[in-house]
């Protein structure tokens, strides 16, 4: 008997053959990467601290992993979104003895989501939820359109983000061990701003997990 998650992947595979997120070769419906690329894929062993919590990452952001991130962010590439979710799930389950209570995706601005038709971080979180049972809470929204972080210096990055997020559902965070999820982090300023946005909701703990670390 297939579970719901397996059934979903099987149906998806029928319409969009599952592909390797790195080399684009067709792979099995329940696979996440081809064997050749799996051998070469470099995981990141480093763990850091951020805002008093833990910051864990799956891999480094480089020419090898950039196409995965961009395909997931811009083109709704299902194989890439699933690979990011699956590897994050592995990282989360191996890093935490007691799993976090909720997953909080770093939100994108409303009109950006409408234009793309989806929010990549939310999609990644929802798939981690299917794999782990940890619920995804979209308790924070982005209320201000901001300049692209990569065009700015460290100081400007923080000012650029000031007040750009707002909490919409305090109850889903209160007393919870929250794991904030993003695709990439460079200086950690987006994650820091999320932390300052939610700290007044009295979460029990806040940790951070990203797919790629610059
Ligand atoms: Zn491959």
Give 119 Cα–ligand 1 centroid separation in angstroms.
Answer: 25
CA 77 to centroid of ligand 1, rounded, Å: 15
Q: Residue 195 in contact with residue 72, Cβ under 8 Å?
A: no
Q: Are residues 156 and 203 in the same domain?
A: yes
CA of 64 relative to ligand 1 center, distance in Å: 11
Rounded to the nearest integer, the mean pLDDT of the chain is: 94
As a whole number of angstroms, the distance between CA 63 and CA 82 comes to 19
Question: Same structural domain for residues 102 and 174?
Answer: yes
Under 8 Å between Cβ of 36 and 42: no
Q: State the distance from the centre of ligand 1 to the C-alpha of 154, rounded, in angstroms.
A: 35
Distance 26 CA to ligand 1 centre (A): 8
Structural domain count, the chain: 2
Burial label for 173, CB within 10 Å (0-12, 13-18, 19+), is buried
Determine the distance separating the centroid of ligand 1 and the alpha carbon of 24, expressed in angstroms.
Answer: 6
C-alpha 117 to ligand 1 mean position (Å) = 27
88 and 16 co-located in one domain: no
pLDDT for 71-94, tens place per residue?
Answer: 999 989 999 999 999 999 999 999
Say if residue 13 is in the same domain as residue 91. no
Distance 75 CA to ligand 1 centre (A): 18
Predicted model pTM:
0.95
Structure token pair of residue 166:
């707002």
Confidence of residue 45 (pLDDT cuts 50, 70, 90): confident
- Name the more confident of 159 and 174: 174
Range of the domain at 22: 1-41
Once rounded to an integer, what is the mean pLDDT over residues 104-117?
A: 94
- Give me the pLDDT at residue 133, please: 96
Looking at the fold, whether 9 and 103 belong to one and the same domain comes out as no
Q: Please state, as a whole number, how many other Cβ atoms lie within 10 Å of the Cβ of residue 152.
A: 17
Together in a domain, 6 and 48: no
What is the domain-level CATH number for residue 63?
3.40.50.2020
| pLDDT higher than threshold 80 for residue 1 | no
Q: Encode pLDDT of 3-26 as tens digits.
A: 999 999 998 888 889 999 999 999
> pLDDT value at position 168?
97
Distance 20 CA to ligand 1 centre (A): 5
CA of 38 to the centre of ligand 1 (A): 7
Give tens-digit pLDDT for 58-77.
Answer: 999 999 999 999 999 998 99
């Amino acid at each position: 008997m297939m579970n719901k998650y397996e059934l979903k992947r099987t149906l998806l595979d029928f319409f969009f053959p599952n592909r390797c997120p790195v080399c684009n070769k067709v792979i099995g419906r329940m696979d996440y990467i081809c064997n050749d690329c799996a051998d070469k894929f470099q995981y990141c062993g480093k763990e850091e601290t951020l805002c008093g919590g833990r910051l864990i990452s799956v891999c480094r952001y480089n020419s090898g992993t950039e196409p995965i991130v961009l395909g997931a962010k811009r083109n709704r590439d299902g194989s890439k979104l699933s690979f990011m979710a699956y590897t994050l799930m592995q990282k989360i389950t191996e890093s935490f003895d007691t799993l976090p209570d909720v997953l909080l995706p770093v939100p994108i601005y409303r009109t950006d989501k409408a234009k793309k038709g989806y929010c990549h971080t939310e999609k990644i979180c929802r798939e981690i939820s299917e794999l782990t049972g940890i619920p995804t809470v979209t308790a924070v929204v982005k209320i201000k359109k901001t300049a692209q972080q990569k065009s700015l210096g460290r100081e400007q990055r923080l000012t650029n983000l000031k007040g750009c997020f707002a909490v919409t559902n305090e109850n889903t965070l209160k007393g919870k061990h929250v794991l904030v999820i993003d695709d990439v982090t460079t200086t950690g300023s987006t994650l820091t701003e999320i932390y300052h946005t939610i700290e007044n909701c009295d979460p029990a703990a806040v940790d951070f997990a990203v797919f790629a670390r610059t």
